[in-house]
């Protein structure tokens, strides 16, 4: 049991340090020796857990990046039946932006960074990242359909299109913010997304 826990702890250390480096430096610019130095693990200890960087990348998406999206955007939607849907959308798509650290503002979204860097060139990464976005989309559509059924959202709203627009706007602004050194672009996004959500809200 102790050996199993130690092995899990070592694996988590590798994944967490790898995530930090992928996020700060990019996946392609990070190499195995960099990760080994960051974790202070021997070559043998490292390769006991992972064969290569690609394998680490897969696990980082599955165990860390997916959890970030789940915790930040999907889990908060689960109690939708007890919420006012437009208010819930406003909270999720504006309040999270306000809480980002300076580092998160500068570096953007980890999932979006990977999509842009290697999503089109590696089929395994592409499938995992697409499944992640699809899960977010499905959860949003479910909530929006409920909002329509409860007359909280206009009946002519295309829920799938709206979900795509919300996700795309959020991910897009995270990427655009990386080239600015102030929050004006975030402020503009919040004004725009608030106006958009209020426009589909049934009075």
State how far the Cα of 174 lies from the Cα of 163, in Å rounded to an integer: 17
Collapse the DSSP code of 108 into the 3-class scheme (helix H, G, I; strand E, B; otherwise coil) and give the result.
coil
Confidence (pLDDT) at 2: 53
Q: What is the pLDDT of residue 44?
A: 87
Domain 1-51 has CATH 1.10.10: yes
Query: Could you tell me which of 76, 86, 110, 70 has the C-alpha nearest to residue 166?
Result: 86
Measured CA distances, 59 to 36, 74, 113, 137 (Å): 17, 20, 16, 22
pLDDT reported for residue 6: 63
One digit per residue, pLDDT tens: the chain, 203 residues?
A: 555 556 788 999 999 999 999 999 999 999 999 999 999 988 888 888 999 999 999 999 999 999 999 999 999 999 999 999 999 999 999 998 999 999 999 999 999 999 999 988 889 999 999 999 999 999 999 999 999 999 999 999 999 999 999 999 999 999 999 999 899 999 999 999 999 999 999 87
Domain ranges (residues) in the chain:
1-51, 62-200
Second CATH level (architecture) for the domain 62-200: Orthogonal Bundle (1.10)
- Calpha distance 72→104 (Å, rounded): 14
């Amino acid at each position: 049991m102790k050996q199993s826990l130690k092995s899990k702890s070592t694996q988590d250390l590798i994944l967490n340090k790898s995530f930090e480096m992928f996020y700060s430096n990019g996946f392609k610019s990070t190499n195995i020796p960099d990760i080994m130095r960051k974790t202070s693990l021997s070559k043998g200890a490292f390769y006991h857990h992972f064969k290569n960087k690609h394998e680490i990348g897969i696990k980082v998406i599955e165990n860390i990046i997916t959890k970030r999206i789940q915790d930040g955007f999907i889990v908060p939607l689960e109690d939708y039946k007890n919420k006012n849907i437009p208010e819930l959308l406003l909270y999720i798509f504006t309040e999270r932006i306000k809480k980002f650290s300076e580092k998160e503002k500068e570096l953007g979204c980890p999932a979006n960074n990977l999509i842009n860097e290697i999503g089109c060139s590696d089929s395994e990464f592409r499938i995992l990242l697409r499944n992640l976005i699809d899960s977010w989309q499905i959860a949003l559509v479910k909530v929006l359909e409920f909002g329509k059924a409860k007359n909280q959202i206009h009946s002519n709203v295309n829920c799938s299109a709206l979900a795509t627009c919300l996700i795309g706007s959020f991910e897009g602004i995270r990427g655009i913010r990386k080239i600015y050194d102030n929050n004006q672009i975030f402020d503009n996004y919040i004004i725009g997304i608030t106006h958009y959500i209020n426009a589909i809200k049934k009075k």
